[in-house]
Chains A and B, each alone.
Chain A
Amino acid sequence: MSASQPLLQVEDLHIALSTDAGSFPAVEGVSFEIARGETVGLVGESGCGKSITALSIMGLLKPPLGLAGGRIRLTGQEIQNLPAAELRSLRGKRIAMIFQEPMTALNPLKPVGRQIAEMFVLHQGASWREAEQKAVEALTQVKVPAPGRRAKDYPHQLSGGMRQRVMIAIALACEPDLLIADEPTTALDVTVQAEIVDLMKELCAARGTAILMISHDLGLVTDICRRVCVMYAGRIVEQQDSEQIFNHPQHPYTQGLVASLPRLGMRAQHGRRKLMEIAGVVPGITAYPGGCRFNPRCSRATEICVKVVPELEALGDGSLVRCHHHG
């Protein structure tokens, strides 16, 4: 394993939705890399394929969704076709995941300490007694007050923020190389969101854990991540450094996303005007348009956009964009 080898490489990932009416591409040709300790964001509207991309990395796609092609490499090793048992030993131990809804993501009938302890029993062969002690430590690390008492609580006795802290404790219990966070703050109050985001940033930085952050919230993602991939209708349409994407969005969709974010000082700069919105909705998987999938909603669309699928084009500064009329 060379030092420059990326932690995670997703190459030309295809995910298909099988229905009675045939097979439809839910994710098409998605490629990205995450280096050790790097933070990468995956941004897009609901239904653009970001969550299923994450689930495919975990090997947790369920029918009717299935991997239709491409490679997923973890430190060089292809993992998309691993036998179930080997894949399980990666899950939780090297790649961990946090989900959107912390209420339903925890088993309602088990004390949260026990649910954290499972990780130590599964991956470190600890006894339950040791594991439960480690679980209390894990709760301390995610800054849950009175962790010894909280460990005995059931999920319904905790607030949303506390539950998400428990999820983070579970995910980071075995010090994974990669943490996939699927909309980890969407279900939380705004003030709690900031706490959770700071906690994730801090803990992952201390452990050198890479983060793949999935969100519809461009502002949140650029806050945490060094690099951002923007997805639209199953394809990556733009990849840029977080710092640049606000000032120089290349793809019309990203430009729309940026323009629809409220920002401090906007009124002073541009005067009183309405917040932008992107007209229309993301098409359903079974109804993707030909050519560039954004063309029905794009103000710059021309004939070529309807006919030809634009390639992902490298711009000089390391960013990528998939548009015939970018810039």
Chain B
Amino acid sequence: MLGFVIRRVLQMVPMLAAIALLIFVLFSVIPGSFATGQQDEGLGLDMAVVARMRAELGLDDPLHVRFGAYVKQLATLDLGVSFRSRQPVADMIAARLWPSLKLTIAAMGFAIVIGLPLGFVAALRPGSLVDLGLMVIAVSGLSLPKFWLGILLMYLFALTLGWFPSFGYGQGGLWHLTLPALALGVSPMALLARTTRAAVLDIMNADFVRTARSKGMNEYRVVVWHVLRNALVLVLTTIGLQFGSLLGQGVVVEKLFAWPGVGSLLVDSVFQRDIPAVQGCILVITMFFLVINTSVDIAYKLIDPRIRYT
């Protein structure tokens, strides 16, 4: 087991390296730079200043030199210095990471706590009114864009009812967290509900469930002893993928609710062509995805004895 965990963790390293390379190449080929960006913003910098900034930031160096510097930085776990704030990117992200994680976990928690039971109930009464209603909710939850849902939530709960603040982080409490977490969590909740329903329906028709019934078990025991864990194996993939991508999906919601997370830092940095900050944010978001995926793989092995990785 320990060997398996170590192997899975080590497997993340080449993935991370590939992503780092991709990010570097992408931001080297897009036009514009931090320096020209300053000029575009109408600051009226003269060409001499722009040239000096380019030289200072190393933007004039040939690609391979810049790549060498980038790799050297990453190898020492240094994410570089922001062009704009002149602060280490690692510090900037560190300050933003906890709010982002909090939002992601809250959204995923909501998705699991609501989505799993909904899917279960729907599957146990297929074709019923409950099932139909739940699936209508699920489909609308999936198809509503996050920013639109966020605006609706703001309008209803903040402006009209005044229950929650419309934006901001406040002291980082639940009060400020609720609306952005809902906006972010509804779509994974809907997806989870659908996946759970399909998984449970699938398992309920399995031969071993018929065996369980032939043993004289009541439906409650059939579900708890035999269906639950088997369905969870099927749902776990969806939970992992959703959770992993939620930090990235959070970009829109964080920006909308002025949530001081990695996502809003990423958006701001992109607009400012602050390449080191952008690279740092994307690396962190990728890292989060990889960590979650690896954890899911390990969880699989704990739940399902059939799984053997080498």
Give me the interface of A with B, judged by CB distance under 8 Å.
Answer: 58, 60, 84-85, 88-93, 96-97, 99, 101, 104-110, 118-119, 122-123, 154, 156, 167, 170
B210 in the interface (beta carbon within 8 A)? yes
Assess whether A109 is in contact with B229, with CB atoms less than 8 Å apart: yes
Assess whether B218 is in contact with A91, with CB atoms less than 8 Å apart: no
| Neighbouring B residues of A106 by C-beta, 8 Å | 208, 211
Q: Of the candidates A88, A118, A123, which one forms a contact with B225 in the assembled complex, judged by CB atoms under 8 Å apart? A: A118
B76 in the interface (beta carbon within 8 A)? no
| Neighbouring A residues of B210 by C-beta, 8 Å | 60, 99, 105
Assess whether B217 is in contact with A109, with CB atoms less than 8 Å apart: no
Assess whether B207 is in contact with A89, with CB atoms less than 8 Å apart: no
| Known A-B contacts A107-B226, A109-B229, A109-B304; A92 and B215 likewise in contact (beta carbons under 8 Å) | yes
The 4 lowest CB-CB distance pairs between A and B, nearest first, are A92-B216, A91-B216, A104-B207, A92-B215
B64 in the interface (beta carbon within 8 A)? no
Question: A92 CA to B229 CA in the complex, in Å?
Answer: 23
For residue A198, give the distance in angstroms from its CB to the closest CB of chain B. Answer: 23
B306 in the interface (beta carbon within 8 A)? yes
Assess whether A99 is in contact with B211, with CB atoms less than 8 Å apart: yes
Closest A residue to B221 using CB positions = A122
Closest A residue to B308 using CB positions = A156
Assess whether B217 is in contact with A118, with CB atoms less than 8 Å apart: yes
Question: A105 CA to B216 CA in the complex, in Å?
Answer: 15
| Neighbouring B residues of A91 by C-beta, 8 Å | 213-216
Closest B residue to A118 using CB positions = B215
Question: A18 CA to B101 CA in the complex, in Å?
Answer: 53
B63 in the interface (beta carbon within 8 A)? no
Q: Of the candidates A84, A104, A109, A122, which one forms a contact with B215 in the assembled complex, judged by CB atoms under 8 Å apart? A: A122
| Neighbouring B residues of A90 by C-beta, 8 Å | 216
Q: Of the candidates A60, A110, A123, which one forms a contact with B213 in the assembled complex, judged by CB atoms under 8 Å apart? A: A60
B212 in the interface (beta carbon within 8 A)? yes
| Neighbouring B residues of A84 by C-beta, 8 Å | 218
Q: Of the candidates A85, A96, A104, which one forms a contact with B206 in the assembled complex, judged by CB atoms under 8 Å apart? A: A104
B134 in the interface (beta carbon within 8 A)? no
| Neighbouring B residues of A89 by C-beta, 8 Å | 216
What are 24 A-B contacts defined by CB distance under 8 Å?
A: A60-B213, A60-B214, A91-B214, A92-B214, A92-B215, A92-B217, A105-B207, A105-B208, A105-B210, A105-B211, A106-B208, A106-B211, A107-B212, A108-B208, A108-B230, A109-B230, A109-B233, A109-B304, A110-B226, A118-B225, A119-B215, A122-B217, A123-B216, A170-B211
B47 in the interface (beta carbon within 8 A)? no
For residue B219, give the distance in angstroms from its CB to the closest CB of chain A. Answer: 9
For residue A224, give the distance in angstroms from its CB to the closest CB of chain B. Answer: 20
B303 in the interface (beta carbon within 8 A)? yes
Encode contact with A along B225-240: 1 for CB under 8 Å, 0 otherwise.
1100110010000000
Q: Of the candidates B218, B226, B229, B305, which one forms a contact with A88 in the assembled complex, judged by CB atoms under 8 Å apart? A: B218
| Neighbouring A residues of B229 by C-beta, 8 Å | 109
Question: A108 CA to B304 CA in the complex, in Å?
Answer: 8
Question: A105 CA to B304 CA in the complex, in Å?
Answer: 17
For residue B172, give the distance in angstroms from its CB to the closest CB of chain A. Answer: 40
For residue B203, give the distance in angstroms from its CB to the closest CB of chain A. Answer: 10
For residue A128, give the distance in angstroms from its CB to the closest CB of chain B. Answer: 12
| Known A-B contacts A101-B207, A104-B207; A93 and B230 likewise in contact (beta carbons under 8 Å) | no
Closest A residue to B233 using CB positions = A109
For residue B207, give the distance in angstroms from its CB to the closest CB of chain A. Answer: 4
For residue A106, give the distance in angstroms from its CB to the closest CB of chain B. Answer: 6
| Neighbouring A residues of B217 by C-beta, 8 Å | 88, 92, 118, 122
Closest B residue to A108 using CB positions = B306
Assess whether A109 is in contact with B303, with CB atoms less than 8 Å apart: yes
| Neighbouring B residues of A109 by C-beta, 8 Å | 229-230, 233, 303-305
For residue B157, give the distance in angstroms from its CB to the closest CB of chain A. Answer: 42
Closest A residue to B208 using CB positions = A107
Interface centre among B213, B216, B217, B304 (most CB of A within 10 A): B216
Interface centre among B212, B226, B304, B305 (most CB of A within 10 A): B305
Closest A residue to B218 using CB positions = A88
Encode contact with A along B271-310: 1 for CB under 8 Å, 0 otherwise.
0000000000000000000000000000000011110000
Closest B residue to A90 using CB positions = B216
Encode contact with A along B180-213: 1 for CB under 8 Å, 0 otherwise.
0000000000000000000000000011101111
Question: A119 CA to B211 CA in the complex, in Å?
Answer: 11
Assess whether A156 is in contact with B216, with CB atoms less than 8 Å apart: no
Q: Of the candidates B214, B216, B221, B230, which one forms a contact with A107 in the assembled complex, judged by CB atoms under 8 Å apart? A: B230
Closest A residue to B215 using CB positions = A92
| Neighbouring A residues of B306 by C-beta, 8 Å | 108, 154, 156
| Neighbouring A residues of B211 by C-beta, 8 Å | 99, 105-107, 167, 170
| Neighbouring B residues of A123 by C-beta, 8 Å | 216
Question: A105 CA to B217 CA in the complex, in Å?
Answer: 15
Question: A88 CA to B303 CA in the complex, in Å?
Answer: 29
Assess whether A93 is in contact with B216, with CB atoms less than 8 Å apart: yes
Closest B residue to A104 using CB positions = B207
Question: A82 CA to B221 CA in the complex, in Å?
Answer: 20
| Neighbouring B residues of A122 by C-beta, 8 Å | 215-217, 221
Closest A residue to B205 using CB positions = A62
Assess whether A99 is in contact with B207, with CB atoms less than 8 Å apart: yes
For residue A93, give the distance in angstroms from its CB to the closest CB of chain B. Answer: 6
Assess whether B218 is in contact with A85, with CB atoms less than 8 Å apart: yes
Question: A258 CA to B122 CA in the complex, in Å?
Answer: 50
Closest A residue to B225 using CB positions = A118
| Neighbouring B residues of A85 by C-beta, 8 Å | 218
Question: A111 CA to B217 CA in the complex, in Å?
Answer: 18
For residue A217, give the distance in angstroms from its CB to the closest CB of chain B. Answer: 21
| Neighbouring B residues of A156 by C-beta, 8 Å | 305-306
Question: A248 CA to B208 CA in the complex, in Å?
Answer: 40
Assess whether B208 is in contact with A104, with CB atoms less than 8 Å apart: yes
| Neighbouring B residues of A96 by C-beta, 8 Å | 214
